[in-house]
Amino acid sequence: MRPMISAQTARRAVWRPLWELPRRADLLWPLVRRMTLARYRGSALGMLWALLTPAVMIAVFTFLFAGVFGARFTENGTPWEYALYLFCGLLPWTAFSETLLQSAGIVVAHANLVKRVVFPLETLPVAQAFASLVAQLFGTAALLIATVVIRGQLHAAALWLPVLLVPQLLFTLGGAWLVASLGVFVRDTAQVLGLVLMAWMYLTPIIYPEQVVPARFRHLLELNPFTPLVRSYRRTLLEGLQPDWAGLAYTTALALAAFLLGYWWFARTRKNFADVI
């Protein structure tokens, strides 16, 4: 006869791996390194693709919106200024969306680890999130260098960057755990997620300034948790201002909820992964 397990013990078993994550650094960092290098292994340019890909995207958007349509993020702004604001908004979004897209199939891709009882599967989406964060930090360094070249100055407010990474990582990890689990049971998750993320990006003021949105739609824009985050990135890295604290508090609250919900769902469903895979 199997021993009875109390509800309290079961709850502790679900959350225990989360509390143990900080002690998994010896496992996480090799995974992060492998995921970072595997993306460009065998390519002629290697890690340069991490900068070349967003650079091409920025060039296209800058030509279309700043060159053809005359869009500007600031008064008397130049196309170069538009490129800086665009790059600043794309950095956190790319890290977030890339992590979710890669996480949708990450458990299936590591099917050989699923049946290993001792392997902490929850570390796979975490490693993917940090691998994307590494690429973002390389991009941020390029952005700061470009800011100095174009503007001739760099604001001390850029030191607020670690504060902005906290809600971004919480949101990313929660979403990564959620879609990693869904990807096991619903193999169309990656395709559906791609459409959702594409719509979400265009509903976020990344390629256009907030002031061009009609006033009747502004409140809907503020409901988007990425709007205050992108705004805070631009305020700190480009404008020399403090983050949008009110908006950032809203984003952080939603990010924390997503973090806990995403992990809880992953932990509750992981026992069924082996049966499906």
- The reply to whether 21 falls in a domain is no
* Rounded distance between C-alpha atoms, residue 102 and residue 202, angstroms: 20
- The reply to whether 12 falls in a domain is no
Q: For residue 151, give its domain range.
A: 28-276
- The reply to whether 146 falls in a domain is yes
User: pTM (2 decimals)?
Assistant: 0.88
> What tens digit of pLDDT does each residue of 208-243 get?
888 888 888 888 899 999 999 999 999 999 999 999
> How many domains does the chain fold into?
1
- The reply to whether 20 falls in a domain is no
Q: pLDDT tens string for the chain (277 positions)?
A: 445 445 556 566 778 888 888 888 888 899 998 888 777 666 666 666 766 776 777 777 777 776 666 667 777 777 888 888 988 999 999 999 999 999 999 999 888 888 766 788 999 999 999 999 988 998 898 888 888 888 888 899 999 999 999 999 999 999 999 999 999 999 899 999 999 999 999 999 998 888 888 888 888 899 999 999 999 999 999 999 999 999 999 999 999 999 999 999 999 998 888 888 7
- The reply to whether 161 falls in a domain is yes
User: Distance of CA 58 to CAs 54, 137, 166, 248, Å?
Assistant: 6, 17, 25, 26
- The reply to whether 1 falls in a domain is no
- The reply to whether 104 falls in a domain is yes
